[in-house]
Amino acid sequence: MKRGILSPVTVAVLTCLVLVVMLPEVWSKRYMVGGNQGWSANVNYTLWARNITFYTEDWLFFVYDRYQMDVLEVNRTNYETCNAEHPMHNYTTGAGRDVVALNVTRNYYFISSKGFCYSGMKLAVHVVKTPPPPKASPEKSDSPSRIFNLRSQIVFPTVLAMAAVWDSLLRI
């Protein structure tokens, strides 16, 4: 029997890592600020954010011209007056691709300095607590248990997929 490129233990560990990395995607969302227009002048960010409910664990993704603009978090007063002198946080990394984690339930205020705030480059978002997962429907007394449903929908297919990969590696 030939040994595969990856040991079965390595495959199992990699599979678990992939699952752990994918799980946050179930609950959180990443929003590209401004949609296709990104973080740029003359975009109405109030309209863009109006129909979005931002939850803790969501992310804001700012895409902009790194040579001209920046992303500053300020307080409400400085947001309203476009004052960038004392930001609470400067998220500008220099790449023009900045990500902000919304980890706390509160109001967040972002502006771009260098005069761009005056042309509309400012965003206010209200972040609320992530809602609990939807409740399962009431079960009948003769229905399978909730644990069995979880296993049949998630655990069993994952184990079967890992077993198939393991088996194919052992046959190499």
Q: What is the pLDDT of residue 90?
A: 97
Q: What is the pLDDT of residue 139?
A: 58
Which tokens belong to 21?
A: 């990395």
Q: What is the pLDDT of residue 143?
A: 47
Distance from the first to the final alpha carbon of the chain:
7
Q: Does 149 score more than 50 pLDDT?
A: no
Report the C-alpha gap between 107 and 120 in whole angstroms.
18
Kindly report which listed range (41-45, 119-123, 124-128, 143-147) carries the lowest average pLDDT score: 143-147
pLDDT tens column, 74-130: 999 999 999 999 999 999 998 999 999 999 999 999 999 989 999 999 999 999 998
User: Range(s) for CATH 2.60.40.420 in the chain?
Assistant: 29-128
* pLDDT class of 21 with cuts at 50, 70, 90: very low
For the domain 29-128, what is the CATH code?
2.60.40.420
* pLDDT class of 131 with cuts at 50, 70, 90: confident
**Four-residue CA torsion sign, 56, 20, 145, 137:** positive
The better pLDDT of the pair 117, 11 is held by: 117
Q: What is the pLDDT of residue 163?
A: 55
